[in-house]
Amino acid sequence: MKTRIRELRAKTGITQEELARQVGVRRETIVFLEKGKYNPSLKLAYRVARTLGSTIEEVFIFEEEDLA
Amino acid sequence: MKTRIRELRAKTGITQEELARQVGVRRETIVFLEKGKYNPSLKLAYRVARTLGSTIEEVFIFEEEDLA
DNA sequence: ACACCATGTTAGATATACATAACAGGTGCG
DNA sequence: CGCACCTGTTATGTATATCTAACATGGTGT
């Protein structure tokens, strides 16, 4: 699972720590999300997308394997 | 978190068990999702939405409390 | 060189999504 | 009635998302 978190974060000039704070998680969680190491909960994905001024399906990029 | 799983399932005439089979989870998991007892993983939400011919943000209905 | 800031990584603890199995109630149909 | 089908529930186990704390690194500015 790839994401555009880093890209959107850069666009709004917000840091990992600030995003984490606004979303209500730890900074490490944001790091793992950006690197695609987590399959986040739906609510967390929603909060991240909204905080970045976007939608879930725009922030998180699904691949074919995610359907199997 | 509310969902329109049951509604969309009825529209396509598919059973909980069949949805579970196509999505690749147990039927009980679908029951819990329909009742809003689970905060599913993003991938699972994606698979459910796609199997129902819809999108995540159409199937799962977020509330204000989901942002806090 | 030193200090500061953003990012990355690692290890252990906790919460919870999801699996598994088993059982129960309702509905329709022979 | 009896039977198959769909749905709901409960209990226990496992996997993993997330927390917490600590340390490492590269860049930038002074």
* Residue-range domains of chain A with CATH: 2-66 (1.10.260.40)
Q: In the structure, how far is the CA atom of residue B41 from the C1' atom of nucleotide C14, in angstroms? A: 18
- Is A48:A57 a contact under the CB 8 Å cutoff? no
- pLDDT confidence of residue B68: 73
Rounded CA gap, B15 and A23, in Å? 36
Distance B32 CA to D9 C1' (A): 10
pLDDT at A60 over 90: yes
| B13 phi-psi bin (left φ>0, alpha ψ -120 to 50, beta other) | left
d(CA A39, CA A16): 18
Tokens of A57: 């399906």
Half-sphere exposure of A59 (CA within 13 A, CB side): 27
**Would the Cβ of B44 be found within 7 angstroms of any atom in strand C?**
yes
Place of tokens 């009742």: B35
Whether CB of B29 is under 7 Å from strand C: the answer is yes
> pLDDT of A4-56, one tens digit each?
999 999 999 999 999 999 999 999 999 999 999 999 999 999 999 999 999 99
Judged against a pLDDT cut of 80, whether residue A61 lies above it is answered with: yes
